[in-house]
């Protein structure tokens, strides 16, 4: 199969899409809704060889993934469509829709930038960490900023970032990644 045709057939995560591939090069944001069958729009879930501690679930009327610790932290990995990645280092905002069921905290680890060491920064921690209160009432949203995100697929199995929860269960329904456009004076 010619290389160009192969590129048109394969989606952003290397699988055959159900519909023609969208162009995310000018999109202000990309997203994924998680569940038994994920709904991807420029963002897809990556399944590392050793597993990702996430399983499909339904709670409070929403399809989602349940992150379950396996003796340590629980995590889920994501890959961003290559067309969305314009710059060597991008400033991004990630919004996670979640359901809080246990006291703990969660954060984003992303493929970041280290100007002093090209190999460093593959697991850069987000500036913010979201405290979980263990008081489930409604679906909530947490926003994380990712300054200087490199996004060169240097995490497990080519992922760009992961959501990591500290030794607790967490339901995640949706994830949105937005470009942060700096205001020019």
What's the CA gap between 182 and 122, in Å, rounded? 24
Task: Classify residue 76: in a domain, yes or no.
Answer: yes
What's the CA gap between 30 and 110, in Å, rounded? 16
Count up the domains in the chain and report the number.
1
- Give me the pLDDT at residue 120, please: 75
What's the CA gap between 91 and 145, in Å, rounded? 7
Tokens in use for 97? 């829709």
Q: Which residue has the higher pLDDT, 121 or 3?
A: 121
Task: Classify residue 185: in a domain, yes or no.
Answer: no
Please give the residue range of the domain that contains residue 125.
25-179
Per-residue pLDDT tens digits for 106-149? 999 999 877 666 667 888 999 999 999 998 989 999 999 999 89
Task: Classify residue 14: in a domain, yes or no.
Answer: no
- Give me the pLDDT at residue 87, please: 73
Task: Classify residue 7: in a domain, yes or no.
Answer: no
- Output the domain CATH number for residue 49: 2.60.120.260
The enclosing H or E element of 4 equals helix 3-9
How sure is the predictor about 5, in pLDDT bands with cuts at 50, 70 and 90? Answer: very low
Work out the average pLDDT over 25-40. 96
Per-residue pLDDT tens digits for 51-88? 667 889 999 999 999 999 877 889 999 999 999 997 77
Tokens in use for 145? 């900023």
Work out the average pLDDT over 137-162. 93
Task: Classify residue 56: in a domain, yes or no.
Answer: yes
- Give me the pLDDT at residue 1, please: 33
């Amino acid at each position: 199969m010619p290389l160009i045709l192969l590129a048109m057939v394969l989606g952003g995560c290397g699988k055959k899409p159900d519909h023609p591939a969208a162009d995310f090069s000018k999109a202000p944001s990309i997203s994924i809704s998680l569940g038994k069958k994920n709904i991807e729009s420029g963002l897809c879930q990556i399944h590392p060889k050793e597993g990702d501690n996430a399983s499909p679930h339904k709670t409070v009327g929403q399809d989602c993934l349940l992150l379950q610790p396996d003796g340590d932290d629980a995590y889920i990995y994501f890959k961003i469509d290559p067309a969305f990645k314009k710059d060597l280092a991008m400033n991004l905002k990630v919004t996670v829709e979640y359901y809080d069921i246990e006291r703990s905290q969660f954060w984003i680890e992303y493929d970041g930038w280290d100007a002093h060491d090209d190999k460093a920064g593959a697991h850069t921690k987000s500036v913010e960490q979201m405290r979980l209160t263990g008081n489930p009432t409604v679906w909530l949203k947490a926003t994380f900023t990712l300054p200087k995100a490199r996004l060169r697929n240097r995490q497990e199995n080519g992922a760009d970032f992961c959501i990591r929860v500290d030794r607790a269960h967490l339901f995640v329904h949706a994830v949105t990644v937005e470009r942060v456009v700096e205001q020019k004076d």
